[in-house]
Amino acid sequence: MELLIVDAATLEARRADPLDAERIAGLLDSARYGLILVARGAEPEYWPWLRRRLVELGANTYRARYIDADRDPLLLRHGDLQLLVEAWSRFLSAAPQIPRPRLKPSLRHRLSRRELLRRGPPAFIEYTAMPLTMESRCAQLAACQLCLSSCPYRALQGKPPEPDPSRCVECGLCTSFCPSGYLWDPSSPSSSLKALADHMLEHGYASLILVTCPRLRARLYKELEKGELKGAGILVYEASCIASLSLDQLIYLNSRGLKTHYYCPAEERTECSKRLGAEEYLELLAKAGKVLKLSYGLGAPEGPRAEKPLTPIQAGSRRLFLQAMARGNGKVEGGVPFYTVMVSENCTFCRACQQNCPVEALRVEAGPTGYKLVFSHAGCIGCNQCVMACPEDAIQVRSLADASMLAKEWHVAASSPVARCRVCGKPLGPESMVRRVEENLRRRGLSSNIVEAVRICPECKITRSLGASGQD
């Protein structure tokens, strides 16, 4: 058995004793971006064993990518190890720097005295895949609590959200319910995944990403050996859990023309601590598939894929991807990270919602005959900022995915005719706003003359005032 260790920053390679986990942990700690570990002649169970030992030694295993040179389906296809190493180098190099990684104390590590003396206190901590938050940006969405209710383990608390180490199982499900992207899984950063996809498309060596977890990777290789995979461009993508690949990341991969498979057999989930997260994630994909043209599969592909390849969508924003991938007239209510606003007749078109929407999903349009409040279903992130800003309590946000609305750039949420001066006919503003002012004045017990003056433009009021002065 041989182990080649490649530095992700420099692509410099060195040979190492595959059983010297302490030495590998030290190299991983000192690497700028991480390491690519290439094994030859290893058993399928080698990587689960090595990863477990690295965790016990307090190393950050999410900065390591493993290649089984004897079983990796891409190498079985084209044999270009350098290309695959470069792909994972791109992945690791593009990962955001984490100033405050999620750590938890661990007293279950089995260490020799030599290991303890050499590694010191870090030997008693464990790097985790508990979700990280872009705290300053998340804090600006003061009314948003979508991720808190999405966790089946009730592990997220506060604003910005903090995971409870005693409850969080590191499944990553919550990241799919954060359309803003401010909550992310360190085992599957979006910037890294995009860099990986770009490399795959640039060189054309793979068209399918096969997602699995560290626990099932050995079994996956055994499944792949049963199929005819020499003609299949399959990249094995290891994350903390299949749910670590967020829905938005799946949408991005599909929009770039890359298909996705998930390897997480039902019988294996029975004893897994992440079972609830994985199963709710699969339910989410099924619901989202009713309104979006998602391309994903379950289980290991059995051989070369003969389906029609996906047509890439020109790179753009999440909003453009959703519009392009909308499927027919499907509709799903509840349990999906897509949102729509319901606007009552109380709306006065004051633009408070427009001014407070962080993604510009609401906009007031004024025309010669009336006013419209238009809404982007594909752009909305369900943060409730508009609800909090509306002075008339006219807005509600619902969890609803509607394919026909996603396909449109804008949807009319509310409308009002123009109110005109009853003297000269000049426009005064939205009829609903003028009516609301009249209602407020009557509620305060003001005279009918004052109420009637609301429908007179400033110029006509001045003219009337001057005329009255002349008569005096």
Q: What local confidence, expressed as pLDDT, does residue 305 receive?
A: 47
Residues 111 and 218 in one domain: yes
CATH of the domain at 343: 3.30.70.20
Domain count, the chain: 3
Query: Model confidence over 141-185: pLDDT tens digits?
Result: 988 999 999 999 999 999 999 999 999 999 999 999 998 989 999
pLDDT in tens, 347-399: 999 999 999 999 999 999 999 889 999 999 999 999 999 999 999 999 999 99
**pLDDT at position 230, please?**
45
pLDDT cut 90: percent of the chain above it: 66
Asked if residue 54 belongs to a domain, the reply is yes
Q: What is the domain extent for residue 444?
A: 420-471
pLDDT at 119 over 80: no
What is the spatial distance between Cα 274 and Cα 442, in angstroms, rounded to a whole number?
59
Looking at the structure, tell me whether residues 374 and 465 fall in a common domain: no
Phi–psi pair at 37, nearest 5 degrees: -105, 120
- Residue 264 predicted with pLDDT over 90: yes
- Say yes or no: 382 and 459 in one domain: no
Shared domain for 117 and 12, answered yes or no, is yes
132-141, 175-184, 299-308: least confidently modelled range: 299-308
DSSP 25: H
Percentage of the chain lying above the pLDDT 70 cut: 89
Give me the residue label for tokens 């409850």.
167
Torsion of Cα atoms, 343 then 138 then 239 then 380, to 10°: 20
In a domain, 233, yes or no: yes
pLDDT the model gives residue 108:
53
Task: Identify any residues that bridge with 296 across adjacent strands, giving them in sequence order.
Answer: 260
Residue 147 lies in a domain: no
pLDDT at 231 over 50: no
Question: Over the stretch 276-295, which tens digit does the pLDDT of each residue have?
Answer: 999 999 999 999 999 998 98
To the nearest whole number, what is the mean pLDDT of the chain? 88
Quick one: average pLDDT of 422-430?
A: 93
Q: Specify whether 218 is located in the same domain as 342.
A: no
**383: burial class by Cβ within 10 Å (0-12, 13-18, 19+)?**
buried
Residue 389 lies in a domain: yes
Note whether residue 349 is domain-resident. yes
The predicted-structure confidence for 4-60, as pLDDT tens digits, reads as follows 999 999 999 999 999 999 899 999 989 999 999 999 999 999 999 999 889 888 889
Residues 408 and 460 in one domain: no
In a shared domain, residues 123 and 222 = yes
Question: Please, which residues bridge with residue 297 across strands?
Answer: 261
